[in-house]
Amino acid sequence: MSRIVLGVTGGIAAYKACDLLRRLLGAGHDVTVVPTEAALEFIGRASWEALSGKPVHTQVWDDAHLVPHVKLGQEADLVFVAPATADLLARAATGRADDLLTNVLLTASCPVVFAPAMHTEMWLHPATRANVATLRQRGAVVIDPDSGRLTGPDSGPGRLPEPAELFAVATAVLADPASARRAAAQDLAGLNVAVSAGGTREFLDPVRFLGNSSSGLMGWALARAAVLRGATVRLVAANVAMPAPPNVALQPVVSTADLADAMSVAAKEADIVVMAAAPADYTPATTSRTKIKKSGEAGLELDLVQTTDVLARLVADRTDEAQVLVGFAAETPDAGHSLLDLGRAKLARKGCDLLVLNEVGHGRVFGKTDSEITLISRDDVVGPIAGSKDTLAHHIWDVTLTLRSSR
Protein backbone atom coordinates (compact mmCIF):
# COMPACT_ATOMS: atom_id res chain seq x y z
CA MET A 1 0.00 0.00 0.00
CA SER A 2 1.39 3.37 -1.05
CA ARG A 3 0.71 6.69 0.67
CA ILE A 4 -0.52 9.28 -1.79
CA VAL A 5 -1.31 12.96 -1.35
CA LEU A 6 -3.91 14.01 -3.91
CA GLY A 7 -3.74 17.76 -4.35
CA VAL A 8 -6.78 19.43 -5.89
CA THR A 9 -6.87 23.05 -7.04
CA GLY A 10 -9.62 25.45 -8.04
CA GLY A 11 -10.64 24.51 -11.55
CA ILE A 12 -13.82 23.11 -13.05
CA ALA A 13 -11.93 19.89 -13.79
CA ALA A 14 -11.81 19.17 -10.05
CA TYR A 15 -14.76 16.83 -10.56
CA LYS A 16 -12.44 14.41 -12.39
CA ALA A 17 -10.26 14.19 -9.27
CA CYS A 18 -13.17 12.47 -7.52
CA ASP A 19 -12.97 9.62 -10.02
CA LEU A 20 -9.18 9.53 -9.73
CA LEU A 21 -9.50 9.31 -5.95
CA ARG A 22 -11.86 6.35 -6.23
CA ARG A 23 -9.48 4.56 -8.60
CA LEU A 24 -6.51 5.09 -6.28
CA LEU A 25 -8.46 3.88 -3.26
CA GLY A 26 -9.78 0.92 -5.25
CA ALA A 27 -6.19 -0.09 -6.02
CA GLY A 28 -5.49 -0.27 -2.28
CA HIS A 29 -3.61 2.98 -1.78
CA ASP A 30 -3.84 5.24 1.28
CA VAL A 31 -4.93 8.62 -0.11
CA THR A 32 -5.05 11.97 1.68
CA VAL A 33 -6.82 14.73 -0.21
CA VAL A 34 -5.34 18.22 0.17
CA PRO A 35 -7.47 20.78 -1.69
CA THR A 36 -6.89 24.48 -1.98
CA GLU A 37 -9.54 26.87 -0.69
CA ALA A 38 -10.50 27.58 -4.30
CA ALA A 39 -10.96 23.86 -4.97
CA LEU A 40 -13.66 23.74 -2.29
CA GLU A 41 -15.68 26.19 -4.38
CA PHE A 42 -16.09 23.37 -6.92
CA ILE A 43 -16.14 20.23 -4.73
CA GLY A 44 -17.00 20.74 -1.07
CA ARG A 45 -15.07 19.50 1.95
CA ALA A 46 -17.82 17.03 2.87
CA SER A 47 -17.55 15.33 -0.52
CA TRP A 48 -13.80 14.86 -0.21
CA GLU A 49 -14.11 13.54 3.34
CA ALA A 50 -16.88 11.13 2.40
CA LEU A 51 -14.95 9.80 -0.60
CA SER A 52 -11.56 9.52 1.12
CA GLY A 53 -12.74 8.57 4.61
CA LYS A 54 -10.35 11.14 6.10
CA PRO A 55 -10.52 14.70 7.41
CA VAL A 56 -9.71 17.29 4.77
CA HIS A 57 -7.75 20.46 5.48
CA THR A 58 -6.52 23.37 3.39
CA GLN A 59 -4.37 25.31 5.89
CA VAL A 60 -1.34 24.52 8.02
CA TRP A 61 -3.25 25.68 11.13
CA ASP A 62 -5.65 22.71 11.05
CA ASP A 63 -4.49 19.92 13.39
CA ALA A 64 -1.33 21.97 13.93
CA HIS A 65 -0.10 19.62 16.67
CA LEU A 66 0.33 16.92 14.00
CA VAL A 67 2.48 19.26 11.88
CA PRO A 68 0.67 18.20 8.68
CA HIS A 69 2.51 20.69 6.46
CA VAL A 70 5.71 18.74 7.11
CA LYS A 71 4.61 15.18 7.76
CA LEU A 72 2.32 14.77 4.77
CA GLY A 73 5.13 15.53 2.36
CA GLN A 74 7.76 13.64 4.31
CA GLU A 75 5.72 10.45 4.51
CA ALA A 76 4.18 10.40 1.03
CA ASP A 77 5.20 7.96 -1.69
CA LEU A 78 3.59 10.17 -4.32
CA VAL A 79 2.14 13.67 -4.50
CA PHE A 80 -0.28 14.00 -7.41
CA VAL A 81 -1.92 17.37 -8.16
CA ALA A 82 -4.98 17.16 -10.40
CA PRO A 83 -6.11 19.54 -11.62
CA ALA A 84 -3.14 21.89 -11.30
CA THR A 85 -4.17 25.44 -12.18
CA ALA A 86 -1.87 28.10 -13.62
CA ASP A 87 -1.87 29.73 -10.18
CA LEU A 88 -0.74 26.54 -8.46
CA LEU A 89 2.03 25.95 -11.02
CA ALA A 90 3.25 29.51 -10.47
CA ARG A 91 3.21 29.18 -6.70
CA ALA A 92 4.97 25.81 -6.82
CA ALA A 93 7.63 27.07 -9.24
CA THR A 94 8.44 30.06 -7.05
CA GLY A 95 8.48 28.08 -3.81
CA ARG A 96 5.45 29.72 -2.21
CA ALA A 97 4.14 28.14 1.00
CA ASP A 98 0.87 29.97 1.59
CA ASP A 99 -1.45 27.00 2.10
CA LEU A 100 -1.23 23.34 3.07
CA LEU A 101 -0.78 22.03 -0.47
CA THR A 102 2.18 24.26 -1.32
CA ASN A 103 3.78 23.38 2.01
CA VAL A 104 3.42 19.69 1.15
CA LEU A 105 5.08 20.31 -2.21
CA LEU A 106 8.06 21.92 -0.49
CA THR A 107 8.54 19.06 1.97
CA ALA A 108 7.96 16.14 -0.40
CA SER A 109 10.99 14.02 -1.25
CA CYS A 110 8.89 11.53 -3.26
CA PRO A 111 7.89 11.85 -6.92
CA VAL A 112 5.58 14.80 -7.61
CA VAL A 113 3.17 14.83 -10.56
CA PHE A 114 1.24 17.85 -11.83
CA ALA A 115 -1.72 17.44 -14.19
CA PRO A 116 -2.44 20.97 -15.42
CA ALA A 117 -5.88 22.13 -16.53
CA MET A 118 -6.70 25.66 -17.66
CA HIS A 119 -7.79 27.69 -20.65
CA THR A 120 -5.61 27.44 -23.73
CA GLU A 121 -4.31 31.00 -23.52
CA MET A 122 -3.17 30.40 -19.94
CA TRP A 123 -1.46 27.11 -20.82
CA LEU A 124 0.39 28.66 -23.76
CA HIS A 125 1.36 31.87 -21.92
CA PRO A 126 5.15 32.28 -21.62
CA ALA A 127 4.88 32.58 -17.84
CA THR A 128 3.15 29.19 -17.55
CA ARG A 129 5.59 27.59 -20.01
CA ALA A 130 8.48 28.92 -17.92
CA ASN A 131 6.92 27.61 -14.71
CA VAL A 132 6.43 24.16 -16.26
CA ALA A 133 10.06 24.13 -17.42
CA THR A 134 11.21 25.09 -13.92
CA LEU A 135 9.20 22.36 -12.27
CA ARG A 136 10.49 19.74 -14.71
CA GLN A 137 14.04 20.93 -14.19
CA ARG A 138 13.56 20.29 -10.47
CA GLY A 139 12.40 16.73 -11.15
CA ALA A 140 8.62 17.07 -11.15
CA VAL A 141 6.47 15.32 -13.73
CA VAL A 142 4.17 17.68 -15.60
CA ILE A 143 1.58 15.94 -17.77
CA ASP A 144 0.74 17.97 -20.84
CA PRO A 145 -3.01 18.64 -20.88
CA ASP A 146 -5.32 17.13 -23.45
CA SER A 147 -7.01 19.10 -26.22
CA GLY A 148 -10.78 19.35 -26.29
CA ARG A 149 -13.80 21.09 -24.81
CA LEU A 150 -13.05 23.49 -21.97
CA THR A 151 -15.52 25.61 -20.00
CA GLY A 152 -18.17 27.45 -21.96
CA PRO A 153 -17.74 27.36 -25.73
CA ASP A 154 -13.94 27.26 -25.59
CA SER A 155 -11.96 24.34 -26.94
CA GLY A 156 -8.23 23.64 -27.29
CA PRO A 157 -5.19 22.50 -25.30
CA GLY A 158 -5.78 22.75 -21.55
CA ARG A 159 -8.27 19.98 -20.84
CA LEU A 160 -7.48 17.68 -17.91
CA PRO A 161 -6.90 14.12 -19.18
CA GLU A 162 -9.46 11.53 -18.19
CA PRO A 163 -9.07 9.85 -14.77
CA ALA A 164 -8.07 6.53 -16.34
CA GLU A 165 -5.10 8.23 -18.01
CA LEU A 166 -4.08 9.98 -14.79
CA PHE A 167 -4.39 6.72 -12.88
CA ALA A 168 -2.12 4.98 -15.40
CA VAL A 169 0.58 7.63 -14.87
CA ALA A 170 0.25 7.37 -11.08
CA THR A 171 0.54 3.58 -11.25
CA ALA A 172 3.67 3.71 -13.39
CA VAL A 173 5.38 6.29 -11.17
CA LEU A 174 4.56 4.38 -7.98
CA ALA A 175 5.85 1.11 -9.44
CA ASP A 176 9.04 2.68 -10.78
CA PRO A 177 9.91 6.11 -9.34
CA ALA A 178 12.79 6.33 -11.81
CA SER A 179 10.21 6.78 -14.57
CA ALA A 180 9.29 10.08 -12.94
CA ARG A 181 12.85 11.33 -13.30
CA ARG A 182 12.89 10.35 -16.96
CA ALA A 183 9.57 12.04 -17.58
CA ALA A 184 10.80 15.18 -15.83
CA ALA A 185 13.95 15.13 -17.95
CA GLN A 186 11.84 14.83 -21.14
CA ASP A 187 14.40 12.38 -22.49
CA LEU A 188 12.33 11.67 -25.61
CA ALA A 189 11.81 15.34 -26.45
CA GLY A 190 12.48 16.16 -30.09
CA LEU A 191 11.97 12.56 -31.23
CA ASN A 192 9.23 11.34 -33.54
CA VAL A 193 7.87 7.96 -32.53
CA ALA A 194 5.61 5.58 -34.47
CA VAL A 195 3.86 2.88 -32.47
CA SER A 196 1.48 0.18 -33.72
CA ALA A 197 -1.07 -1.52 -31.49
CA GLY A 198 -3.92 -4.00 -31.51
CA GLY A 199 -4.73 -7.00 -33.69
CA THR A 200 -5.55 -7.03 -37.39
CA ARG A 201 -8.61 -8.62 -38.99
CA GLU A 202 -8.68 -10.57 -42.26
CA PHE A 203 -12.25 -10.81 -43.48
CA LEU A 204 -13.74 -14.02 -44.87
CA ASP A 205 -17.04 -12.33 -45.69
CA PRO A 206 -18.86 -9.17 -44.56
CA VAL A 207 -19.32 -10.47 -40.99
CA ARG A 208 -16.52 -12.98 -40.27
CA PHE A 209 -12.79 -12.49 -39.98
CA LEU A 210 -9.57 -14.16 -38.89
CA GLY A 211 -8.08 -12.24 -35.97
CA ASN A 212 -6.30 -12.56 -32.66
CA SER A 213 -6.71 -11.58 -29.01
CA SER A 214 -4.46 -8.51 -28.92
CA SER A 215 -6.14 -5.74 -26.92
CA GLY A 216 -3.79 -2.88 -27.78
CA LEU A 217 -3.04 -2.18 -24.11
CA MET A 218 0.73 -2.48 -24.54
CA GLY A 219 0.78 -0.14 -27.53
CA TRP A 220 -1.38 2.34 -25.62
CA ALA A 221 1.03 2.17 -22.67
CA LEU A 222 4.01 2.77 -24.97
CA ALA A 223 2.33 5.78 -26.57
CA ARG A 224 1.32 7.20 -23.18
CA ALA A 225 4.83 6.80 -21.76
CA ALA A 226 6.46 8.32 -24.84
CA VAL A 227 4.26 11.43 -24.70
CA LEU A 228 4.94 11.77 -20.98
CA ARG A 229 8.67 11.75 -21.77
CA GLY A 230 8.32 14.41 -24.48
CA ALA A 231 8.05 12.52 -27.77
CA THR A 232 5.79 13.32 -30.70
CA VAL A 233 3.77 10.12 -31.13
CA ARG A 234 1.81 8.62 -34.02
CA LEU A 235 -0.23 5.57 -33.01
CA VAL A 236 -1.41 3.17 -35.71
CA ALA A 237 -4.20 1.16 -34.10
CA ALA A 238 -5.67 -2.04 -35.48
CA ASN A 239 -9.20 -2.54 -34.16
CA VAL A 240 -8.69 -1.04 -30.70
CA ALA A 241 -11.86 0.20 -29.02
CA MET A 242 -10.24 2.73 -26.67
CA PRO A 243 -9.82 6.49 -26.90
CA ALA A 244 -6.29 7.50 -27.81
CA PRO A 245 -4.00 8.72 -25.03
CA PRO A 246 -3.84 12.53 -24.87
CA ASN A 247 -1.63 14.30 -27.41
CA VAL A 248 -1.27 11.21 -29.60
CA ALA A 249 -2.04 11.24 -33.33
CA LEU A 250 -4.24 8.18 -33.89
CA GLN A 251 -4.65 6.35 -37.21
CA PRO A 252 -7.10 3.42 -37.19
CA VAL A 253 -6.47 0.47 -39.50
CA VAL A 254 -8.18 -2.91 -40.01
CA SER A 255 -6.14 -5.48 -41.95
CA THR A 256 -2.47 -6.41 -42.04
CA ALA A 257 -2.22 -4.77 -45.47
CA ASP A 258 -3.66 -1.56 -43.98
CA LEU A 259 -1.21 -1.78 -41.09
CA ALA A 260 1.75 -2.32 -43.42
CA ASP A 261 0.85 0.70 -45.54
CA ALA A 262 0.22 2.98 -42.54
CA MET A 263 3.44 1.98 -40.77
CA SER A 264 5.49 2.43 -43.93
CA VAL A 265 4.32 6.04 -44.10
CA ALA A 266 4.70 6.66 -40.36
CA ALA A 267 8.20 5.16 -40.29
CA LYS A 268 9.52 7.61 -42.89
CA GLU A 269 9.35 10.46 -40.36
CA ALA A 270 10.08 8.41 -37.22
CA ASP A 271 13.25 8.27 -35.16
CA ILE A 272 11.91 5.19 -33.36
CA VAL A 273 9.42 2.64 -34.67
CA VAL A 274 7.73 0.15 -32.34
CA MET A 275 5.71 -2.70 -33.84
CA ALA A 276 3.58 -3.66 -30.84
CA ALA A 277 0.60 -4.69 -32.98
CA ALA A 278 -0.22 -8.33 -33.65
CA PRO A 279 -0.66 -8.65 -37.43
CA ALA A 280 -2.27 -11.75 -38.86
CA ASP A 281 0.17 -14.06 -40.63
CA TYR A 282 -2.44 -15.32 -43.09
CA THR A 283 -5.38 -13.87 -45.01
CA PRO A 284 -8.05 -15.54 -47.15
CA ALA A 285 -7.06 -15.88 -50.81
CA THR A 286 -10.54 -14.59 -51.70
CA THR A 287 -13.19 -12.75 -49.71
CA SER A 288 -16.89 -13.43 -50.23
CA ARG A 289 -19.02 -10.38 -50.90
CA THR A 290 -21.96 -12.04 -49.19
CA LYS A 291 -22.25 -13.93 -45.92
CA ILE A 292 -21.10 -17.52 -46.26
CA LYS A 293 -24.02 -19.85 -45.44
CA LYS A 294 -23.95 -23.27 -43.86
CA SER A 295 -24.32 -26.01 -46.46
CA GLY A 296 -25.69 -29.27 -45.08
CA GLU A 297 -23.23 -31.22 -42.94
CA ALA A 298 -20.15 -30.18 -44.86
CA GLY A 299 -17.41 -28.12 -43.25
CA LEU A 300 -15.70 -25.08 -44.70
CA GLU A 301 -12.31 -25.19 -46.37
CA LEU A 302 -10.26 -22.01 -46.46
CA ASP A 303 -7.49 -21.13 -48.87
CA LEU A 304 -5.09 -18.88 -46.98
CA VAL A 305 -2.10 -16.94 -48.23
CA GLN A 306 0.64 -15.23 -46.24
CA THR A 307 0.28 -11.54 -45.41
CA THR A 308 2.99 -8.91 -45.62
CA ASP A 309 5.66 -9.27 -42.94
CA VAL A 310 5.26 -5.73 -41.63
CA LEU A 311 8.31 -5.64 -39.36
CA ALA A 312 10.65 -7.23 -41.91
CA ARG A 313 9.42 -4.74 -44.50
CA LEU A 314 10.12 -1.81 -42.18
CA VAL A 315 13.64 -3.15 -41.62
CA ALA A 316 14.23 -3.61 -45.34
CA ASP A 317 12.94 -0.13 -46.17
CA ARG A 318 14.90 1.69 -43.46
CA THR A 319 17.08 4.47 -44.86
CA ASP A 320 18.05 6.27 -41.64
CA GLU A 321 20.83 4.35 -39.88
CA ALA A 322 20.03 6.12 -36.60
CA GLN A 323 16.41 4.89 -36.63
CA VAL A 324 15.68 2.21 -34.01
CA LEU A 325 13.19 -0.53 -34.89
CA VAL A 326 11.53 -2.46 -32.08
CA GLY A 327 9.56 -5.65 -32.64
CA PHE A 328 7.34 -7.78 -30.45
CA ALA A 329 7.21 -11.56 -30.24
CA ALA A 330 4.31 -13.41 -28.64
CA GLU A 331 5.56 -16.98 -28.35
CA THR A 332 4.57 -20.35 -26.90
CA PRO A 333 7.65 -22.44 -26.00
CA ASP A 334 7.63 -26.20 -26.48
CA ALA A 335 9.78 -29.19 -25.50
CA GLY A 336 12.36 -28.40 -28.14
CA HIS A 337 12.55 -24.63 -27.89
CA SER A 338 12.76 -22.33 -24.90
CA LEU A 339 11.13 -18.91 -24.92
CA LEU A 340 14.55 -17.29 -25.28
CA ASP A 341 15.46 -19.60 -28.18
CA LEU A 342 12.33 -18.55 -30.04
CA GLY A 343 12.99 -14.88 -29.33
CA ARG A 344 16.59 -14.98 -30.54
CA ALA A 345 15.56 -16.77 -33.71
CA LYS A 346 12.89 -14.18 -34.42
CA LEU A 347 15.28 -11.29 -33.78
CA ALA A 348 17.70 -12.75 -36.31
CA ARG A 349 14.92 -13.46 -38.80
CA LYS A 350 13.31 -10.02 -38.61
CA GLY A 351 16.50 -7.97 -38.38
CA CYS A 352 15.12 -5.41 -35.91
CA ASP A 353 17.26 -3.75 -33.25
CA LEU A 354 15.27 -4.82 -30.19
CA LEU A 355 12.72 -7.56 -29.62
CA VAL A 356 10.18 -7.50 -26.80
CA LEU A 357 9.48 -11.13 -25.98
CA ASN A 358 6.60 -12.51 -23.97
CA GLU A 359 4.94 -15.87 -23.47
CA VAL A 360 1.28 -15.97 -24.39
CA GLY A 361 -1.58 -18.39 -23.85
CA HIS A 362 -3.29 -19.76 -20.74
CA GLY A 363 -4.75 -16.35 -19.86
CA ARG A 364 -1.46 -14.49 -20.18
CA VAL A 365 -0.74 -11.10 -21.74
CA PHE A 366 -3.71 -10.50 -24.05
CA GLY A 367 -6.22 -8.16 -22.45
CA LYS A 368 -4.31 -8.12 -19.16
CA THR A 369 -3.01 -4.96 -17.51
CA ASP A 370 0.12 -6.80 -16.32
CA SER A 371 2.70 -8.76 -18.29
CA GLU A 372 6.21 -10.17 -18.20
CA ILE A 373 8.72 -9.33 -20.90
CA THR A 374 12.30 -10.06 -21.91
CA LEU A 375 14.16 -7.53 -24.04
CA ILE A 376 16.56 -9.01 -26.57
CA SER A 377 19.05 -7.08 -28.68
CA ARG A 378 21.98 -8.32 -30.72
CA ASP A 379 24.34 -7.92 -27.76
CA ASP A 380 22.23 -8.18 -24.64
CA VAL A 381 19.26 -9.73 -22.88
CA VAL A 382 17.33 -7.77 -20.23
CA GLY A 383 14.77 -9.53 -18.08
CA PRO A 384 12.46 -11.12 -17.55
CA ILE A 385 10.73 -8.03 -16.12
CA ALA A 386 7.22 -8.25 -14.70
CA GLY A 387 4.78 -5.46 -13.94
CA SER A 388 1.99 -3.35 -15.31
CA LYS A 389 2.15 -2.60 -19.01
CA ASP A 390 2.51 1.10 -18.18
CA THR A 391 5.58 0.29 -16.10
CA LEU A 392 7.02 -2.07 -18.71
CA ALA A 393 6.59 0.61 -21.37
CA HIS A 394 9.12 2.80 -19.59
CA HIS A 395 11.62 -0.09 -19.44
CA ILE A 396 11.20 -0.58 -23.19
CA TRP A 397 11.84 3.10 -23.85
CA ASP A 398 14.91 3.02 -21.57
CA VAL A 399 16.55 0.23 -23.55
CA THR A 400 15.49 1.76 -26.85
CA LEU A 401 17.10 5.08 -25.95
CA THR A 402 20.29 3.28 -24.93
CA LEU A 403 20.41 1.60 -28.33
CA ARG A 404 19.82 4.90 -30.09
CA SER A 405 22.53 6.72 -28.13
CA SER A 406 25.05 4.03 -29.04
CA ARG A 407 24.68 4.74 -32.77
pTM for the full model? Answer: 0.89
Tell me the backbone φ, ψ of residue 392, rounded to 5 degrees.
Answer: -65, -30
Q: In the predicted model, is pLDDT for residue 356 greater than 90?
A: yes
Statement to judge: residues 307 and 214 lie in one domain: yes
Statement to judge: residues 91 and 225 lie in one domain: no
Structural domain boundaries enclosing 394? 192-405
DSSP structure class, residue 337: B
**pLDDT at residue number 337:** 76
End-of-domain residue from the set 159, 185, 211: 185
**pLDDT at residue number 63:** 62
Statement to judge: residues 157 and 229 lie in one domain: no
Statement to judge: residues 166 and 200 lie in one domain: no
Active site amino acids? 212
Statement to judge: residues 267 and 351 lie in one domain: yes
How many domains does the chain fold into? 2
Query: Which are the contacts of 351, defined by CB distance < 8 A and separation ≥ 6?
Result: 312, 315, 316
Q: Which helix (H) or strand (E) holds 388?
A: strand 381-388
At 104, the pLDDT band (50, 70, 90 cuts) reads: very high
pLDDT digits (tens, 9 = 90+) for 38-77: 999 999 999 999 999 999 888 766 665 555 557 888 899 9
User: Please, are residues 131 and 98 in contact by the beta-carbon 8 Å criterion?
Assistant: no
User: Please, are residues 392 and 373 in contact by the beta-carbon 8 Å criterion?
Assistant: yes
Q: In the predicted model, is pLDDT for residue 233 greater than 60?
A: yes
| CATH code for the domain of 127 | 3.40.50.1950
End-of-domain residue from the set 185, 219, 234: 185
CA distance 210 to 203: 6
Cis omega (within 30 of 0) on the bond before 384? Answer: yes
Query: Which are the contacts of 272, defined by CB distance < 8 A and separation ≥ 6?
Result: 191, 192, 193, 194, 231, 323, 324, 325, 326, 400, 404
| CATH code for the domain of 349 | 3.40.50.10300
Q: In the predicted model, is pLDDT for residue 297 greater than 80?
A: no
pLDDT digits (tens, 9 = 90+) for 364-394: 556 577 888 999 998 888 878 998 899 999 9
Statement to judge: residues 206 and 81 lie in one domain: no
End-of-domain residue from the set 137, 159, 185: 185
The strands making up 248-253's β-sheet, listed across from edge to edge, are 248-253, 232-238, 192-198, 272-275, 324-331, 354-359, 370-377, 381-388
Query: Which are the contacts of 333, defined by CB distance < 8 A and separation ≥ 6?
Result: 339, 341, 342, 359
Please give the mean pLDDT across all residues of the chain: 90
pLDDT digits (tens, 9 = 90+) for 105-145: 999 999 999 999 999 999 999 999 999 999 999 999 999 99
Bridge-based pairing of strands 112-116 and 78-84 is: parallel
